[in-house]
Chain A
Amino acid sequence: MTAEPLASAFIQEDVGERPWQRTLRLLAQRRMALAGLTVVAFFIVLAILAPLISPYDPLATNWAAVRKPPTALHLFGTDEIGRDVLARIIWGARASLLAGLVSVSLALAAGVPIGLVSGYFGGIIDGTLMRMVDAMLAIPFLILAISLAAFLGPSLANAMIAIGVSQTPIFARLTRGQVLTVKHEEYIEAARAVGNPHHRIVLRHILPNIVPPLLVQATLAAAAAIIAEASLSFLGLGEQPPDPSWGSMLNTAKNFISQAPWMALWPGLAIFTLVLSLNLFGDGLRDALDPRRG
């Protein structure tokens, strides 16, 4: 600790830097996090513009070009029934990103209210809700998702529901813990003292103050959800053929590993790159939102 950061802290306070401005400034200093964000943005653009930029129809088979290695005509090669691998990678980004977005939204929508109620009211409500959360956490993530997907029936929508439900306890636990630390702060006591109703205290005073850790967890959970969707599709429980998904592409590629290794290379590389980028961004965001850093 030198005097310099302390002095600059005072200057920043003078200009009145808002928390989100501070977070953006700290995030901008982290090159790895920015690189992660750029790659994620690239995949999002790819998914949105798929109909415009995809070189071929991802479902169109071509019996004259079965299992062809990468060429100028098919940059990533073709698969076992002559479909263009690059086109399927581009369209497959939709399934992966959708799974990340929808599953995490579901988990947030269910987990955060449970955590808020549990942490705020405490007592028997807390005890009961947390034992339920324990029960869900006791079943390994993927095994819970597989069994849910099995009973709901295999489809991308059901896979997203299964992943969302499986991630719910993580958000419930995190929210509850955060509420417990914030609950006894003076501004909450003050809000209570002036006669605010419970729902107002929870939604207007507690929730906005626990958003940062939830945001970090949501980013990392999106990475986990993308791997989970790929895993379920790999097992045949996610996106159903012939619709493209990186996981199901790998499932097929496994059977042609010695004849057409490129079929396994690209979808795996796509999953790895997207997940790594989300993790890099999540780690950077956590550091930028950490009030102890400056």
Chain B
Amino acid sequence: MTAFLLRRIALIVPTLFFVSVLIFGLQQLLPGDPALAMAGENADPAVIAFLKQKYHLDEPLPVRYALWVEGIAHGDFGESIRIKRPVKDLILEKLPVTGELAGLAMLVAIVIGVPTGILAAVKHDTAIDYGATMAALWGISMPNFWLGILLILLFSVTLGWLPASGFVTPAESLKQNLLTLIMPAFVLGNAIAAVMMRHTRSAMLQVLSADYVRTARAKGLSQVSVILHHALRNALIPVVTLGALEFGALLSGAVLTEQVFTIPGFGKLIVDAVFNRDYAVVQGVVLCTAFAYIMLNLFADIAYVLINPRLRA
């Protein structure tokens, strides 16, 4: 167990190294002089000289990489050229917004995906199963920004029930906060729910034909008890860990959802940064998401071993 943990943690080091090289390397894709690209076309030569000095653009590449990594290790992600604020502050400011949206979306995904998956597995090869499978395919094929636009059309424009855009913090008004997030959370959770349903269904199908489930049935336990206490508990192990892997899809989706509903989160930050050529912000956001994903995967792997008694020894 300890050996597994150590080996698993050791694997992160090269991955983190390559992630940092990749993100640092993005800068090299900029056509022409990076200082010129950062400052804009008609920039003052003094500004360009300042940028060159600030970002060590005259130094050789490996030195620049080392300086960049050193800065990040000290929590210095650079400064936004556009807003003139440290990238770290911007990220910390937007994180709770996207965090809340992602959390609610995951809740939507679990509430819809898991029960549907169970039902489809229990009613295997019936109309219910086919219906649920088709619904999942629908969820996967639906571009979430289009779903967002359609929901705005129905619930905001036509019915006038929900606000079409904007964000209110929970501290200001919890009710308003939830009202603004219902549609975005549903839009974002919808595609994940489809994936969750597929995972739950296949995990349940496997478990339902296992010997211990047959034994539980033979003991005369009710169908509900067999499904909830014996089958589901084991089927959920892969579902929980696969849920962690959906984090990436959640963040990708959040970029689009935040754009449709004008929510000032992580996704809006990176898209605005792209258009303002605020490259330090883009790199900072990508680095943070990659780091979070790697850590989440690590925890998911560890949790998988801890929950699964067969792997614990």
Contact = CB atoms under 8 A, between A and B. Distances in A.
A207 interface: no
Contact of A268 (B18, B143, B251): B143
Interface in A99-150: 127-128, 131-132, 134-144, 146-150
Interface in B1-39: 11, 14-19, 21-23, 26-27, 29-31
A223 B279 CA distance: 30
Interface string B264-298: 00000011011100010011011001100110010
A97 interface: no
A105 B149 CA distance: 31
Contacts of A285: none
B103 interface: no
Contacts of A223: 141
A7 B302 CA distance: 48
- B-side interface size class: 35 or more
B166 to A, nearest CB: 15
Q: SS class of chain A's interface: helix, strand, loop or mixed?
A: helix
A261 B293 CA distance: 38
B149 A268 contact: yes
A134 B271 contact: no
B259 interface: yes
Contact of B286 (A131, A137, A144): A144
Given A140-B293, A271-B146, A264 B153 contact: yes
Interface stretch (A43-51, A70-78, A79-87, A231-239): A231-239
A272 B15 contact: no
A264 B18 contact: no
B248 interface: yes
B137 A257 contact: no
A141 B80 CA distance: 24
Contact of B141 (A137, A152, A272): A272
Contacts of A141: 248-249, 252
Given A143-B286, A146-B271, A231 B256 contact: yes
Contacts of A268: 143, 146, 149-150
Contacts of B29: 148, 151-152
Interface string A236-277: 110000000000001001100110010010011001100110
A142 B144 CA distance: 13
A272 B146 contact: yes
B61 interface: no
Given A148-B26, A151-B27, A264 B146 contact: yes
A254 B143 contact: no
Interface in B109-167: 137-138, 140-143, 145-146, 149-150, 152-153, 157, 164
Contact of A272 (B16, B143, B249): B143
A237 B272 CA distance: 12
A153 interface: yes
A280 interface: yes
A257 B275 contact: no
B18 A132 contact: yes
B14 A131 contact: yes
A150 B27 CA distance: 10
B22 A136 contact: yes
13 contacts: A131-B17, A138-B290, A139-B19, A142-B255, A147-B23, A148-B29, A151-B282, A152-B29, A257-B164, A261-B153, A276-B138, A279-B137, A280-B137
Interface of A: 127-128, 131-132, 134-144, 146-153, 223, 227, 230-231, 234-237, 250, 253-254, 257-258, 261, 264, 267-268, 271-272, 275-276, 279-280, 283
3 smallest A-B Cβ distances: which pairs? A268-B146, A135-B18, A142-B252
